Structure 1
Amino acid sequence: MNRFFKVCAAMMVAMVVSTGVAMAGTLDDIAKRKTLRVGMEPGYMPFELTNQKGEIIGFDVDMAKRMAKAMGVELELVSTAWDGIIPALLTDKFDIIMSGMTLTQQRNMTINFASPYIEIGQSIIVSNKIAADIKSYKDLNDPKYTVASKLGTTGEQATKRMISKAKYVSFETEQEGVLEVVNGKVDAFIYDMPYNTVAVGQRGQGKVTHLDKAFTFEPLAWGIRKGDPDFLNWLNNFMYQVKNDGTYDKIYQKWFQSDTWLKEIQ
């Protein structure tokens, strides 16, 4: 073997070894730790929220419980502020983001996503003061209107991109945005349709109007650190399993087709 081939062989071995370490990373850590650590911000109904007992519940929580059971480990939920959730993942504060996160190309530059588990879009909660004049997001694209969303979300991005002529204000939480519309301080709140549907039923009946046809396409997916194809493969196979054995449908019906869970937070 001449010098050139020796160098090539050494490089290939190094690549295999380094790749093997990356591939084994998170799954091995979870197995050794015997705990799956899931990062989420518990303020996004019905995906993750806090009940009267202070427990985090929701669609993503039930999926995380099923995931931990499939792994044979315990589940640890790590409550994290939304604006710091990706940095927290990258610094190993938890293993995976399961927090109703939209898969965007911008986020995908920083983290990897498993296959989407649900598709949603942005909808509009409108003050009844202007509801008669607003039939779609296009009607809000006027300087005379004040439109709000949550800071750092795809709702904010959609508003700035598609309703750019309106005055825009942002809020730290979804609850603040909805309440401002209910109180007549802003004209409309742009946010994910599942949340808006629940929020209107909870706080806005008779005071606001929900334009419940999504005007954007947004796949939600679980986020993980880059360079971990084994974990990505496990997550995609897990999703394939639960979507075909009835598990996913059962959890979906509980959180999206029933309102029984609302009793836990009222």
Structure 2
Amino acid sequence: MRQILALLALTFLLLAPAARAESPVLAGIAHSGEVRVGLTGDYKPFSWEEPEGHFEGMDADMAAALARDLGVRLTITRTSWPTLMDDLATGKFDIGMGGISITEARQEKALFSMPLLSDGKAPVARCADAERFRTLDGIDREGVRVIVNPGGTNEQFARANIHRATLILHKDNATVFDEIAAGRADVMMTDAIETRIVAKEYPSLCATSPDAPFTRAEKAYLLPQDAAWKARVDDWLARMEANGERARIFAKWVE
């Protein structure tokens, strides 16, 4: 059955020259027989890489579902938050997944799919310090060490709101919470969905206010400026929503 569906999807691509002519991305996918999905591999529950070359998470599953829907093979391309937009611009991947927030700066250079969820920045700290860091006023004080991964909205938010505390840039997002647990940093502000995951994985760390984040932003898939490709992705997402598959995938990774 899966082979039949894949053949039908590929036939759709091959028999739609008008759509391919309007969409360089769809034309490239039809020609190569693959869809290239960019993932950072360092942001639970969306995607993480462990061991090297093996990606897991909700958007790793969604990427596989997209490839099945297109009837092509999946190639996951490693990207990073500092290089995300440059990698898109140079055609390193066809679609960026993995918990990407919609921002005005990104919208100037790219398109986004329909939104997948709404989230916002919230603190995670050692449980013993949780009460101290429930507010921005409590965080932005002299002597507080705020750690952040560079290149994305976490760094943008921290730089816009941290003026008195010490800001520590930690380049490896996969180990940034180890620094807090070890006492080398005090608090990080990231998306609330991640703070909940961190609190489950680190007994000494707590999500201080995940239900009342400091900001609100929508997350979606990052796309090149190709309207026909966006329409194809949005159509797939609408069908995933209607048949409950998106909800099942998300529920697998977020309790």
CA distance in 1, matches of 2:139, 2:79: 33
The worse-fitting range, judged by mean Cα deviation, of 164-173 and 50-59 is 50-59
Does the CA contact (< 8 Å) of 1:120 and 1:193 recur in 2?
A: yes
Counterpart of 2:193? Answer: 194
Q: Which residue of 2 aligns with 1:250?
A: 248
**Percent identical across equivalent pairs?**
23
Secondary structure of the structure 2 residue equivalent to 1:125: strand
Give the whole-Å Cα distance in 2 for the aligned partners of 1:20 and 1:237: 14
Conservation of the 8 A alpha-carbon contact between 1:127 and 1:182:
yes
1:230 has 2:201 as partner: no
Cα offset, 1:73, TM superposition: 0.9
SS in structure 1 at match of 2:229? helix
Once residues 109 and 141 of structure 1 are traced to their aligned partners in structure 2, the CA distance between those partners, rounded to angstroms, is 31
> Any conservation in 2 of the 1:138–1:163 contact (CA below 8 Å)?
no
Q: In the alignment, what sits opposite 2:149? A: 150
Deviation at 1:122, TM superposition (A): 1.4
Deviation, 1:200, is 2.4
Amino acid paired to 2:248? K
Structure 1 residue 48: deviation in Å? 0.7
Provide the C-alpha distance between the structure 2 equivalents of 1:22 and 1:90, rounded to a whole number of angstroms: 20
Q: Following the alignment from structure 1 to structure 2, what is the Cα–Cα distance between the partners of residues 251 and 135?
A: 31
Q: Which runs of 5+ in 1 are unaligned?
A: 1-18, 258-266
Return the alpha-carbon distance in structure 2 between the equivalents of residues 195 and 247 of structure 1: 22
- CA RMSD, aligned part only? 2.0
Partner of 2:199, secondary structure, is helix
Q: 1:28: which partner in 2?
A: 27
Question: Partner residue of 2:184?
Answer: 185
- TM-score, normalised on structure 2? 0.85
Q: What SS does structure 2 have at the residue aligned with 1:172? A: coil
Q: Structure 1 length normalisation: TM-score?
A: 0.82
| Alpha-carbon distance change, 223 to 133 in structure 1, aligned in 2, over 3 angstroms | closer
Q: For residue 60 of structure 1, what is the aligned residue in structure 2? A: 59
1:260 aligned residue? none
User: Counterpart in 2 of 1:16?
Assistant: none
Question: Take 1:94 and 1:134, find their aligned partners in 2: how far apart are those partners?
Answer: 38
- 2 CA distance for matches of 1:243 and 1:46? 19
Which residue of structure 2 lines up, in the alignment, with residue 103 of structure 1?
A: 102
Runs of 4+ in 1 over 6 A off after TM superposition: 19-22
Q: Name which one, 1 or 2, has greater alpha-carbon Rg.
A: 1
Deviation at 1:175? 3.3
The separation in 2 between residues aligned to 1:66 and 1:130, in whole angstroms, is 41
SS at match of 1:186: coil
Match of 2:74 in 1: 75
**1:218 Cα deviation (Å)?**
1.8
Structure 2 letter corresponding to 1:243: E
User: CA separation of 1:153/1:233 partners in 2, compared to 1, >3 Å: closer, same or farther?
Assistant: same
